[in-house]
Chains A and B, each alone.
Chain A
Amino acid sequence: MNTSYLRGMALNCALGLDRSTCLAALHSGRMNSDKRVLDMFDEPLELSYYRIADGADLLDPERMKRLLPPVVEAALAPAGLTVKQRRELPVFIGSSCFSIASEESHYARELAHDPGHAMPMRLTGFDVIATLVRETAGSNAAAFTWNTACTSAANALLAAQRSLALGRYRQALVVGLELANLTTLSGFSALQLMADTVRPFDARRTGIVLGEGISAVLLDVEPGPTSPRLVAGASNCDTHGVTGANPDGSSIAAVLARGLRMAGVEAAQIRALKAHGTGTVTNDEAEARGMHGVFSPMPPVCALKPWLGHTMGACGLNELVLFASALEDGFIPAAAGFETVDEALNVVPLTEETTAGPGYYLLNQFGFGGNNTVLIMEQP
């Protein structure tokens, strides 16, 4: 089986429009969430949000066209691909929002001008991101778009890793995208899952704070000079409930164990774990129990949603890029804002940056629909 390397990585999120800006923000402890009000409902909706600071109207449907291509190009740059390599580059997309912001904008305009003929979901189809990525990259190869809620991008990356392992492709471009849209913001408000501040595993945690972010990874059977290795991963489904895994942590423990087995790595070899850490009462409980079911002792735990917000379908790749970039820079990020230990969970994320060494690291992602995905990487 062939090995896959994270040959190129790029990220644009609330912390900054590229990886170096994001890392500087991590070092400085600067969290960039702000409050905003959505007033298109009869009752205005106020919420915290981690936005990309592009200066545009948050719900502007043209943002994808402006923001996505530079991220793709930044991920492709280190490998210096030929035109032929770009043409043969398969794309693996993970998102939960897709182009829904465009649909919303379109429908809202129709309702304003011609309500009798207004029709929602006119533009529809999951392919908008894949089409834009292929155009930008110059790819005419296969395209795969994942829609598995918060595990979408992680599943896309895992599929790319397995395809390269089999020798089906020598390189793959993986993209995660979440941009602000009414459906996500109001949907999670309706589910009463939102909080003002996100505090993963904290006793005072009360919910999620949403965010947006775009990331891209070039996976390659050839490494660059410092490329981390994407070793393996696993995915399973828990049918306890549509909005979350069984709080007893059993399905999470199962996917963790399976991922470690697929990677040929023992739990004790994991140097640190990037948790999913959404900050809801039940999700963190399930994750904590699951982790305790596999890790004894618990490795250092890193939680990135206080920095990025919950970037939904893209979070698996956004957080992997941020995490791997920090490791490359020699550190494991702290979980900003953590204060009070929850004795019932007994998971204490890092509250200070820690030195990162070579070795194996594990990343968790869980989503609605009972989807659990774990990824294991190796830092050289």
Chain B
Amino acid sequence: MQAALLSASHYLGALRDDEALPSLNDLLEDICRHSYRRIDRFVQLALVGSAHCVRGVKLHADCGIYMGSTHGPLTSNIRVQEQMLRGRELPKPFNFVNTLGSISGFYVADNLQLSGPSLFVSRYGRSLEAALETALTDLATEAVGQALVGVVEEAPLPLDNQRLRLQVNADVTLGEGSHWILLGPSAQSSPQRELGLHRFSGTGELESYLASHVRASTVVCLGRRLGPSVAHLLRRNIPEAIDVAHLPLPFHDSIEAAWFVDQIANGKTGGVLLVNGGDDGDGCLLHLGA
């Protein structure tokens, strides 16, 4: 299934262990219709990323919002747990409300004056696929006329705790990210701006796809959850394929989304392909410029 890419924005901030999280206040002041209070870091990241994505684009009021995340509003969830179990008291109302996935979509919808569906759909380490497939389905069934897809990941302090959650080594630089894509109905007249999502199972289907859709200029990236047979095939057929796990990027669990959106936000022509999953079902290809 596919849709037309209208715009994209990419924010991936490296975090230092010995510092507070960088303030987003200037960015927020720049892009928010009015100043929002009672929002947490997750909402701040969502506001900044979504607003930058749609800058200069005519948005329809029925544009749907499709957000995904591995960890979601983690800081608010941490606060609530601490208030209840360490503090032995009821959680603060704002903190509790902010633990819900739909809250970030609420503020994005308010800031961009949208009234279409506002959905939060995720998958561990593969949230861009989940959110994107839902968006593409809604576009294809004409439930919406445009779709704003976003993946947001926080890294709450202290970073050492977050490394434990992510199960990465102490020397890994962590990042927080906000990665957004705006889609419209498929426009076959501009194939290089068509974004497609295709599911595959096994090396046979993948090989057919590579043969018919991948050119020498296509940048190919291998996701962390590739099946071993599929990974082997890709590394053999496309030796220059990038391994997302080896990229020197500040890390969060939607790092594939970070890479993919960075590529397309920077106007990469000639095709961008992200491959994940795959050995025995559940393979997914995200392809710009198929």
Residues of A within 8 A of B (CB): 1, 40-43, 45, 87-88, 96, 100, 103-104, 107-108, 111, 115, 118-122, 124-127, 130, 140-149, 151, 155, 159, 162-163, 165-166, 168, 182-183, 186-187, 189-191, 234-239, 242-243, 251, 254, 262, 367-371
Residues of B within 8 A of A186 (CB): 84, 90-91, 96
Q: Which of B22-30, B67-75, B209-217 contacts A (4 or more CB under 8 A)?
A: B67-75
A121 touches B121 (CB 8 A): no
Verify A122–B164 contact, CB threshold 8 A.
Answer: yes
Among the listed A40, A189, A237, which residue makes an inter-chain contact with B118, where contact means beta carbons less than 8 Å apart? Answer: A237
Tell me whether A140 and B282 are in contact (CB under 8 A): yes
B247 on the interface (CB 8 Å rule)? no
List 8 tightest A-B contacts by C-beta distance, closest first.
A369-B102, A147-B101, A120-B81, A187-B96, A237-B118, A127-B124, A140-B281, A235-B117
Confirm or deny: B286 has a beta carbon within 8 angstroms of a beta carbon on chain A.
Answer: no
Tell me if B96 and A191 are in contact (CB < 8 A). Answer: yes
A159 CB to closest chain B CB (Å) equals 5
Chosen A-B contacts, 10 in total, with CB atoms closer than 8 Å, are A42-B89, A118-B86, A127-B123, A127-B124, A130-B124, A141-B281, A144-B130, A163-B133, A182-B84, A369-B102
Please determine whether B137 and A159 come into contact, CB atoms closer than 8 angstroms: yes
Question: B101 contacts which chain A residues (CB < 8 A)?
Answer: 146-149, 369
Whether B170 is near chain A, meaning CB under 8 Å from some CB there, is: no
A368:B97 contact, CB within 8 angstroms = yes
Q: CA of A130 to CA of B121 in the docked complex: distance in angstroms?
A: 12
Are A367 and B122 in contact (CB-based, < 8 A)?
A: no
Q: Specify which of A104, A130, A163, A189 is in contact with B81 (CB 8 Å cutoff).
A: A104
Residues of B near A367 (CB, < 8 A) are 102
Question: Measured between alpha carbons, how far is A162 from B105 in the docked complex, in Å?
Answer: 21
Chain A residues lying within 8 Å of B72, measured Cβ to Cβ, are: 126, 147
Residue of B nearest to A108 (CB): B85
- The interface-forming segment of B11-19, B138-146, B262-270 is B138-146
The answer to whether A42 touches B88, judged by C-beta atoms less than 8 angstroms apart, is yes
Provide the residues of chain A in CB contact with B137, threshold 8 Å: 159, 162-163, 166, 168
Stretch among B47-55, B108-116, B176-184, B230-238 lining the A interface: B108-116
* B60 at interface by CB-CB < 8 Å: no
Rounded to whole Å, the gap between the CB of B94 and the closest CB of chain A is 9
User: Does B141 contact A165, Cβ atoms closer than 8 Å?
Assistant: yes
Partner of B115, one of A43, A87, A148, A237: A237
CB distance from A25 to the nearest CB of B (A): 30
Tell me the minimal C-beta distance from A376 to chain B in angstroms.
13
Known pairs A96-B100, A168-B137, A243-B97; A124 contacts B74 (CB<8 A): yes
- Chain B residues near A119 (CB-CB < 8 A): 161, 164-165
- By CB atoms of chain B within 10 A, which of A182, A183, A190, A235 has the most? A190
CA of A142 to CA of B89 in the docked complex: distance in angstroms? 40
Identify B121's interface contact among A1, A111, A144, A182, CB under 8 A.
A144
Confirm or deny: B147 has a beta carbon within 8 angstroms of a beta carbon on chain A. Answer: no
| Any A CB within 8 A of the CB of B251 | no
Q: Which of B77, B253, B284 contacts A120 (CB 8 A)?
A: B77
Contacts of A121 in B (CB 8 A): 71, 74, 77-78, 81, 165
Residue of B whose beta carbon sits closest to that of A103: B81
Contact present for B81 and A236 (CB under 8 Å): no
CA distance A100 to B74 in the complex (A): 12
Q: Let me know if B218 is at the binding interface, CB within 8 A.
A: no
Give the CA-CA distance A136 to B209 in the complex, in Å: 31
Looking at B117, B129, B161, the one whose CB has the most chain A CB atoms below 10 A away is B117
- Contact of A41 with B84 in the complex, beta carbons under 8 Å: yes
Please determine whether A142 and B199 come into contact, CB atoms closer than 8 angstroms. Answer: yes
Which residue of the partner chain B has the closest CB to A164?
Answer: B137
Nearest B residue to A155 via CB reads B119
Q: How far is the CB of A230 from chain B (nearest CB, A)?
A: 13
Q: Determine how close the nearest CB of chain A comes to the CB of B133; give it in whole angstroms.
A: 7
Chain B's nearest CB lies how many Å from the CB of A135? 14
Q: With a CB–CB cut-off of 8 A, which chain A residues contact B89?
A: 41-43
Query: Contact: A183 with B99, CB < 8 Å?
Result: yes
**Closest A residue to B99 using CB positions:** A183
On whether the beta carbons of B119 and A146 are closer than 8 Å, the reply is yes
Task: Say which residue of B109, B140, B165, B280 sits within 8 Å of A87 (CB atoms).
Answer: B280
Check A236–B70 contact: CB distance below 8 A. no
CB-based contact B96/A124 at 8 Å: no
* CB < 8 Å neighbour of B119 from A45, A107, A140, A148: A148
Q: Give the residue of B80, B85, B129, B165 whose beta carbon is less than 8 angstroms from that of A124.
A: B165
With both chains docked as a complex, state the minimum distance between the C-beta of B70 and any C-beta of chain A, in angstroms.
5
Q: Is the CB of B123 within 8 A of A147?
A: no
**Min CB gap B223→A, angstroms:** 14
CB <8 Å contact, A147 and B102 = yes
Complex Cα spacing A115 to B86, Å: 9
Which residues of A lie under 8 Å from residue B161 when comparing CB positions?
A: 119
CB pair B91 A190 closer than 8 Å: yes
Are A141 and B282 touching (Cβ within 8 A)?
Answer: yes
Find B82's partner among A120, A125, A239 (CB 8 Å cutoff).
Answer: A120
Min distance, Cβ B146 to any Cβ of chain A, angstroms: 14
Cα distance A325–B88 when bound, in Å? 42
Shortest CB-to-CB span from A320 to chain B, Å, is 18
